[in-house]
């Protein structure tokens, strides 16, 4: 089995740690090095992962990488994808794909032109609970589907996530894309209209960016949906948040909690009760899928276009909140 050589480009996003730990646990996978425009952060994680720090993206790209994992600030996804395209065979880019439709399309185009496979990091697709829900829907177990009530709550992450330029928005862009991607994937349907009410600094006074949002939307298959995308979890909450989906059909109702595989652990070392995960690991499954794509030379299971369509809904939500009107997509 040939070793798959990965390079990590930025640890700005906290998911980078989980992806790196998952990669390290996989046989036949090597983290060749880490580039980060924050040298202190990059050197810290290179030491923790027993890898090498590279002072420039170009230097890391000379190491004969099979794949690149990009976990930079949202606005920096495009320049890093453009730097990697044509120099690696495959790219895993953190969500949202970008902060604008123009940047997302440019990323898709440069990867297509250079024959580079672009996969977007939507690990919720790999949640065992979500996979079981999709299997039931594919089998028609609920009959005709009427509605989808969804949440993606979380703790306010701080840092660059609250910088409009770097993140492209707050809680709404951060959390909308995960759930919209799952709904698109489950039914092969697109969101056709969005209405949203969004609160700036509603839960965190003085934050200066949206921390609460409620989307109402229609899908092309006739399903009506709602999505709460708020940073509503306090720092003391046992975990960062939730992804929950409630599907109503003509023969029944199904409720899914994508992160319910946990036990409560109370520890004086952490000073609070936390949820320790057990069983499946969606991040590890995402990495395994990405590595499998490289090894098997197949197309991405989650494409750049998937990333663009999810981003489109988040940006439509902001426009709806600004105008006070539903936005057709």
Pair 183, 313: CB distance under 8 Å = no
pLDDT of residue 238: 76
Name the DSSP class of 3.
P
Over residues 68-88, the pLDDT tens digits come to 999 999 999 999 999 999 999
Over residues 257-275, the pLDDT tens digits come to 988 777 778 888 877 777 7
Q: Alpha-carbon distance 155 to 211, whole Å? A: 10
Does position 300 have pLDDT exceeding 80, yes or no? Answer: yes
pTM of the model: 0.95
18: which residues sit within 8 A by CB, 6+ positions away? 283, 284
With CA atoms as reference, report the closest residue to 305 among 109, 170, 171, 169.
109
Whether domain 125-280+311-328 has CATH 3.80.10.10: the reply is no
Lowest mean pLDDT among 65-69, 160-164, 233-237, 287-291: 233-237
Pair 302, 125: CB distance under 8 Å = yes
pLDDT of residue 101: 98
Tokens of 198: 């969004």
pLDDT of residue 213: 98
Locus of tokens 């024959």: 115
Q: How does residue 32 score in pLDDT terms, banded at 50, 70 and 90?
A: very high
pLDDT of residue 293: 97
Task: Give the residue extent of every domain in the chain.
Answer: 4-121, 125-280+311-328
Tokens of 57: 């993206």
Locus of tokens 């663009």: 308
Percentage of residues of the chain with pLDDT beyond 70:
99
Residue length of the chain: 329
Q: Beta strands 210-219 and 191-200: pairing type?
A: antiparallel
pLDDT of residue 278: 66
Name the phi and psi angles at 188, rounded to 5: 60, 35
> Which superfamily, per CATH, for 4-121?
NAD(P)-binding Rossmann-like Domain (3.40.50.720)
Name the phi and psi angles at 175, rounded to 5: -110, -20
Q: How does residue 182 score in pLDDT terms, banded at 50, 70 and 90?
A: very high
Pair 156, 214: CB distance under 8 Å = no
Mean pLDDT of the chain: 95
Name the DSSP class of 250.
T
Give the SS3 label for residue 252: strand
Name the phi and psi angles at 221, rounded to 5: -90, 5
Question: For the residues 5-24, what does the mean pLDDT come to?
Answer: 97
Over residues 228-259, the pLDDT tens digits come to 999 999 888 877 778 999 999 999 999 999 88
């Amino acid at each position: 089995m040939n070793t798959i050589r990965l390079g990590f480009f930025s640890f700005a996003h906290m998911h980078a740690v989980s992806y790196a730990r998952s990669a390290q646990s996989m046989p036949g996978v090597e983290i060749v090095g880490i580039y980060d425009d924050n040298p202190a952060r990059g050197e810290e994680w290179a030491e923790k992962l027993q890898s090498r720090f590279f002072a420039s993206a170009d230097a890391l790209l000379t190491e004969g990488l099979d794949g690149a994992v990009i976990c930079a600030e949202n606005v920096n996804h495009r320049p890093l994808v453009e730097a990697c395209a044509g120099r690696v065979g495959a790219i895993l880019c953190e969500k949202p794909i970008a902060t604008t439709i123009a940047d997302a399309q440019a990323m898709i185009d440069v990867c297509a032109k250079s024959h580079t496979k672009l996969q977007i990091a939507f690990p919720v697709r790999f949640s065992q609970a979500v996979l079981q829900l999709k299997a039931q829907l594919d089998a028609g177990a609920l009959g005709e589907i009427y509605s989808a009530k969804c949440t993606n709550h979380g703790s306010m992450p701080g840092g660059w996530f609250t910088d409009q330029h770097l993140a492209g928005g707050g809680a709404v862009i951060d959390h909308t894309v995960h759930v919209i991607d799952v709904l698109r994937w489950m039914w092969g349907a697109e969101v056709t209209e969005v209405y949203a009410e969004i609160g700036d600094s509603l839960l965190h006074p003085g934050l200066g960016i949206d921390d609460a949002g409620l989307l109402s939307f229609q899908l092309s298959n006739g399903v009506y949906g709602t999505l709460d995308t708020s940073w509503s979890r306090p720092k003391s909450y046992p975990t960062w948040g939730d992804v929950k989906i409630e599907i109503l059909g003509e023969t029944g109702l199904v409720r899914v909690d994508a992160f319910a595989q946990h036990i409560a652990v109370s520890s004086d070392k952490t000073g609070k009760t936390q949820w320790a995960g057990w069983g499946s690991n969606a991040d590890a499954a995402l990495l395994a899928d990405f590595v499998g794509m490289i090894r098997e030379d197949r197309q991405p299971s989650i494409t750049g276009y998937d990333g663009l369509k999810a981003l489109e809904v988040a940006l439509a939500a902001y426009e709806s909140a600004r105008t006070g009107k539903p936005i057709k997509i």
